[in-house]
Structure 1
Amino acid sequence: MQQQTRHSPDLSTKTRNFLCQELIYRGHVSADMADRAQIMAQQRGMALADVFNRGFGVSQYAVAQAQATERGAQYINPFTDAPDLSLIALFGVEKCLQMGVLPWRSIGGETVVLTARPETFHQDQALLHNHFGRVRMAITTEEHLNRALSQLCEETLVARAETKTIDSESCRNWAPRRALAVGAVFGICALACAVFKPILLVALLTAWAVITLFLTTALKLVAAVIGWREATAPANSVIPARLPTITMLVPLYNETAIAEHLLARLSDLDYPRELLDICLVLEADDQTTRATLGRTTLPRGIRAITVPTGGIKTKPRALNYALDFARGNIIGVWDAEDAPAPDQLHKVANAFANAPPDVVCLQGKLDYYNASANWLTRCFTIEYASWFRVILPGLQRLGLALPLGGTTLFFKRDALHALGGWDAHNVTEDADLGIRLARHGYRTRLIDTVTEEEANGRAWPWVKQRSRWLKGYAITYLVHMRDPLRLWRNLGAWRFFGVQLLFLGTLSQFMLAPLLWTFWLPALGFGHPLSSVLPSWAFWTLAGLFFSSEVIGWLVAYVALHKAEKRWLFKWAFSLTLYFPLGALAAYKGIFELLTKPFYWDKTTHGVLLPSSWQTPTPPLQPPSHPALGG
């Protein structure tokens, strides 16, 4: 704890800010740097201290010391001079993080409150006075404040991260044993029906499979037709006068091969560094990633947030924890292997500036940078192109609720907090959040920016990844269908139908696909279980439906690959018939896990099939000194 006593010279005849003068006096910046920082702060509408920290690499400690002198206040490090925990509990750790304050100790009839944002402290005084009576401001750094709160209030913050979503919209109260019992009852009934009424069972399942195939095929066709042309930008679009601060959350777990390339790609972003807050979100017990980053110097604007261990270990839990420490008004998500377009964040800022207030989420397009690695990555790339460049735009124009992708997502921070963040227990937290957005009256808009990822190019890891997605689809559907009437009222009839088709229809198609494949048996000279009850014209009708479905799938792939400028992949679209059986296997694995370990996160390994241009070691980064895991 230090008391600042030295007074600065009289600056009444100068235009240079006191903080600038103090940092010049202390030798932390040059006069030219100080002047540029002051102009930048005025142009950006930012606190001058933030410009020095994030834009010019001046340490938080140096700026805080100068601020303490400027305001005649104490500088206190709450990590070494421990605060009174009862004061934090009285005020609430959530408000402490949101406001950047920490009630430290009661001394002489007043409460000393530390702040990392002295320029806005006066705005918080009324609320602080209501809790503590007389208060006195002291200065600390954001790093020390966050570090103290994260360690002193660890249990509270972990519990908050795991239960941020309200009970009625979360799957955390999903009971695997009860689900297993219900599943066993249905299994026994199906087995009995298979023994005593096999034709009836096959006929019913076939009818449902055909209905869902027809509806999903029709949706693909409509999406392909209306999604042929890109949506036109509004004629009266504006460029924001001041760009927002954007926090990007990048969850990492057991990453080795990808870390160096990740930092290089993030350094290529052309968004102003002083407005960019990239948080690498690490698990406390992830020694692999921590060791990798521990050997790395993080570029300016990139910091690490360590998530303590808790009851579960999932990506959405980590995101919820990191959300409380985010600086930006816009919160984005990238995955470890992502390669976002350098101008992506400018497009995000422009899109939000031109969007109506109810648009609180933007979804970018995803693609793969290793499409040519093998047959599986080619098929995966075709599937992704079809989804993000044709199906999703079609769903948006049809006015349906959009199940989000897990990356290249951007949210208005206030709306994300109001929604309860991500469901920490849902293994497809993205799709679930898309439905919750729609239920609460918000909208998602697609934007024309691309993030490239690493396609999973090995069969069993592909099955494990897809089984997690389908398990999450199943649990998301079951959570939102707990009260179908309420879901209907929230979404309306049209979007309610869309949820049924997108979730139940998708699951049905994957699980019942082998049943539909049996209709190729007569063409191969074998009998079919329904040949005794279905006339020959019915088989030909079904064959026509199956063939039409394939043709429409090829049409969607052609449109998507044309938009993605990857037309060279189209010849591989004809082999997708051999690709989707892996999805059926993944569906069975996912449903089994839904009944046995619903919250298990089957982690995908990254850095396995990187492009050849990435195989050679990249030169070490030479940013300002910011230890990756320091503090």
Structure 2
Amino acid sequence: MQIQYLWRKTRSLVLLPVFKGLVIMCLVLSIIVFFESFYMNIVIFFGKLLRRKPEKLYKWEAMQEDVEAGSENYPKVLVQIPMYNEKEVFQISIAAVCSLLWPSSRLVIQVVDDSTDPVVREGVDIEIAKWQSQGINIRCERRDNRNGYKAGAMKEALTHNYVKQCDFVAVFDADFQPDPDYLARTIPFLVHNPDVALVQARWIFVNANKCLMTRMQEMSLNYHFKVEQESGFTRHAFFGFNGTAGVWRISAMDAAGGWKSRTTVEDMDLAVRVGLHGWKFVYLNDLTVRNELPSKFKAYRFQQHRWSCGPANLFRKMTMEIIYNKVFFCHYASFDPHLTVTDWSRFIPSLV
């Protein structure tokens, strides 16, 4: 009887208030998420109604060869394909990148191979040799260690002398397959808009219907790209780099400190630092790049753990840097009466 009495008292005085507080917190968070989603969809609706396409917001003109200089007026572009033991997909991604429509003298393809499997390394070498025999400027860069993992590999790959001649770098993970016109549609934004640092394309998934898990992932990622990324770009707010299927201005990366391996979300880390330097990003919802979703639960769990814990760790490391950043303060904390409605709309998600 004594134990039952103590349990009832503990349940009513301790456990019940705790659970009530958790329920209220969940309800509040659900309401916040609902209004945030509603707001982003309203932004997209008016953006489409007003036809706010990237080509209208930023200057875009197709690249053309000069009569006298030929293709020399094209900027030199580096394409990086970071990979690690990608046995099933490396041939597809290398073939897709080697098929990009860009003057061969102005294109350098760099396979950043951190593979430890000798069979994969040999296969990559054979594939590269095959494309080199066809006149493609492609080379493989390897390290004798894996310090910094993907970020460390790409950072070291950017230190080679031939990279210094390149103005922009496109990044495609080993399972991504860009269309041939990818560079022709993205690079003009960087060429004609010197304040733009990144052009990001949307992902689409070749194995979305393989199982229920891939279908659920497709719905979640479609919401991220078609709602979160699109609304962020439409209202000129910050949106992150997705780690692949994007083109960077190398000078903007260098100004922000380049790749860092302090977290598992090196892509978000770089995007935040570049954004704090005042650079602009362009998101192209109409430009898609094919890739594969994790179809095994172990791979999916690892991916989600990285995507969940990485941003929290990054926020902990960069909180004070964001607060004291002059660009952030002037851009988001000033109340300038000359700001347009679109500019003022940036403050709404900040409150959320």
- TM bin, normalised by shorter chain, reads 0.7 to 0.9
**Aligned pair partner of 2:77 in 238, 242, 246:** 246
Alignment of 1:24-39 (within 5 A): none
Give 3-state SS (helix, strand or coil) of 1:449's partner: strand
Report the Cα distance in structure 2 between the residues aligned to 1:402 and 1:331, rounded to whole angstroms.
19
Distance 1:209 1:438, change over 3 A: same
> Is the CA contact 1:400–1:498 (under 8 Å) kept in the aligned structure 2?
no
Distance 1:342 1:222, change over 3 A: same
Q: Once the 2 structures are TM-superposed, how far is the Cα of residue 375 of structure 1 from its aligned partner?
A: 2.2
Give 3-state SS (helix, strand or coil) of 2:242's partner: coil
AA partner of residue 469 (structure 1): W
> Is the CA contact 1:348–1:410 (under 8 Å) kept in the aligned structure 2?
yes
Normalised by the size of structure 1, how large is the TM-score? 0.45
> Is the CA contact 1:223–1:391 (under 8 Å) kept in the aligned structure 2?
no
- Which residue number in structure 1 is paired with residue 70 of structure 2? none
Alignment of 1:5-404 (within 5 A): 195=15, 197-199=17-19, 201-228=21-48, 231-232=52-53, 233-234=55-56, 237-241=60-64, 242-283=73-114, 285-296=116-127, 297-299=129-131, 300-309=136-145, 312-325=147-160, 326=163, 327-355=165-193, 357-404=194-241
Q: Once the 2 structures are TM-superposed, how far is the Cα of residue 386 of structure 1 from its aligned partner?
A: 2.6
Q: Once the 2 structures are TM-superposed, how far is the Cα of residue 202 of structure 1 from its aligned partner?
A: 2.2
Distance 1:370 1:196, change over 3 A: closer
Report the Cα distance in structure 2 between the residues aligned to 1:366 and 1:215, rounded to whole angstroms.
26
Alignment of 1:448-467 (within 5 A): 448-467=286-305
- Which residue number in structure 1 is paired with residue 324 of structure 2? 486
Report the Cα distance in structure 1 between the residues aligned to 2:28 and 2:202, rounded to whole angstroms.
32
Deviation track 1:154-177 (CA, whole Å, cap 9, x = no partner) reads: xxxxxxxxxxxxxxxxxxxxxxxx
Q: Once the 2 structures are TM-superposed, how far is the Cα of residue 483 of structure 1 from its aligned partner?
A: 5.0
- Which residue number in structure 2 is paired with residue 558 of structure 1? none
Q: Once the 2 structures are TM-superposed, how far is the Cα of residue 360 of structure 1 from its aligned partner?
A: 1.4
Deviation track 1:551-580 (CA, whole Å, cap 9, x = no partner) reads: xxxxxxxxxxxxxxxxxxxxxxxxxxxxxx
> Is the CA contact 1:282–1:304 (under 8 Å) kept in the aligned structure 2?
yes
Specify every segment of 5 or more residues in structure 2 that has no aligned partner in the other structure, as ranges: 1-12, 65-72, 334-343
Percent of residue pairs identical: 21
* TM-align CA RMSD: 2.7
| Deviant stretches of 4+, over 6 Å | none
Report the Cα distance in structure 1 between the residues aligned to 2:106 and 2:299, rounded to whole angstroms.
37
- Which residue number in structure 2 is paired with residue 527 of structure 1? none
- Which residue number in structure 1 is paired with residue 67 of structure 2? none
**Aligned pair partner of 1:431 in 243, 256, 268:** 268
Alignment of 1:474 onto 2:312 = yes
Q: Once the 2 structures are TM-superposed, how far is the Cα of residue 281 of structure 1 from its aligned partner?
A: 0.4
Deviation track 1:60-89 (CA, whole Å, cap 9, x = no partner) reads: xxxxxxxxxxxxxxxxxxxxxxxxxxxxxx
- Which residue number in structure 1 is paired with residue 68 of structure 2? none
Give 3-state SS (helix, strand or coil) of 1:295's partner: helix
Distance 1:262 1:238, change over 3 A: closer
Q: Once the 2 structures are TM-superposed, how far is the Cα of residue 207 of structure 1 from its aligned partner?
A: 4.8
AA partner of residue 257 (structure 1): E
Q: Once the 2 structures are TM-superposed, how far is the Cα of residue 351 of structure 1 from its aligned partner?
A: 1.9
Distance 1:485 1:497, change over 3 A: farther
Larger radius of gyration: 1
- How many residue pairs get aligned? The number is 307
Alignment of 1:618-629 (within 5 A): none
Report the Cα distance in structure 2 between the residues aligned to 1:484 and 1:237, rounded to whole angstroms.
31
Distance 1:429 1:498, change over 3 A: farther
Distance 1:287 1:449, change over 3 A: same
Distance 1:261 1:416, change over 3 A: same
Give 3-state SS (helix, strand or coil) of 1:482's partner: helix
Give 3-state SS (helix, strand or coil) of 1:373's partner: coil
Q: Once the 2 structures are TM-superposed, how far is the Cα of residue 349 of structure 1 from its aligned partner?
A: 2.2
Normalised by the size of structure 2, how large is the TM-score? 0.78
Distance 1:319 1:236, change over 3 A: closer
